[in-house]
Amino acid sequence: MTPAPPVLTVGRGLIGAAVARRLRSQGHPTVTVGLTPDPTGEHLPVDLSGAPGRSALGAAVRRLRPRAVVLTHGPSDVTWIDDHEEQAAEVHVGTARTVAELGVPTLLVSTDNVFPGDRPLRRPTDPVAPANAYGRVKAAAERAVLDTGQGLVLRVSLVYGWTEQHRATYAQRCLTAAQRQEPLRAPVDQDFTPVHVSDVAHVLAALCAAPALPVGVRHLAGPEQLSRYDFARLAYRLSGADEGWVRPCRRAETQWASRPRYSSLACDDFGPMLGVDGWLPMSAEAGLRAMLADVRSVLGNARAGR
């Protein structure tokens, strides 16, 4: 019997690692691609910042003929990309072109930063007009995928969850500061529709497992719009910390100065695809509670093992 073609997930950051785990847990053959080795499963270590690495990725795609390629790779540090736009474009756009031009179904995870941020709750039909370097880079990668006529762009709002191997998410930073009872400055003038990484992995895995990958653009976002300040206060309250430790400020005074005023998306309906009518990503409160439960579970297991 001919083995089923795998899903190829490019990038092993917060989203890439989560979708690979989800696919493997559901029994789907999955090959990951990333900069560092991975002894736990099928993996291709390549450096996508240079032509040799992208050539190696192209060779792997031709050899494996995957049922889908999911592009979740970085760099994704918006502040860093402000000063290194050309380098970031080489990785994002170069990789997207390498894969998309090979004629395989390609799913690119993109960002709300492709919009100017002048109004909230953007929809897939709204015109793209990036307000920062990260948005320009991702918009160019989107075009590389969409121009083939068989690619899907999934734009996400701020994705959060726990990560130990990569840059801490905003939610992780908020919960950690709350547990340490430390003050935290949070902008009141940057709004997003945060979505938990488990919901993102759920949707991505379902898309990859579908008989045929949809084409076009879809938006995946949490069910509510919050400012970074409101989100941080919620994290402190759920942690049992004093919300007064969260200090309001303007984004221009912080590392988020280049972020759009509104980084929020209107979520498309993924219920029919998931087989759950009316499905919505979890609320920010539910997602933060899930993160806290994960911490307590880890701590409980550690104490039990003493």
Beta bridge partners of 241: none
Q: Does 1 score more than 70 pLDDT? A: no
pLDDT at 41: 77
Is the pLDDT higher at 306 or at 128? 128
- Residue 164: CB atoms within 10 Å: 6
Q: Tell me the pLDDT of the chain averaged across its residues.
A: 93
**Band of pLDDT at residue 36, cut at 50, 70 and 90:** confident
pLDDT at 2: 67
pLDDT at 296: 66
**Nearest in space to 174 (alpha carbons), one of 255, 166, 182:** 182
**Nearest in space to 231 (alpha carbons), one of 157, 156, 122:** 157
**204 torsion bin: left (phi>0), alpha (psi -120 to 50), beta (else):** alpha
- Residue 249: CB atoms within 10 Å: 17
- Both tokens assigned to 135: 């948005």
- The domains found in the chain, sorted by start residue, are 7-169+195-224+264-282 (3.40.50.720)
115-172: per-residue pLDDT in tens?
999 999 999 999 999 989 999 999 999 999 999 888 999 999 999 999 876 789 999 9
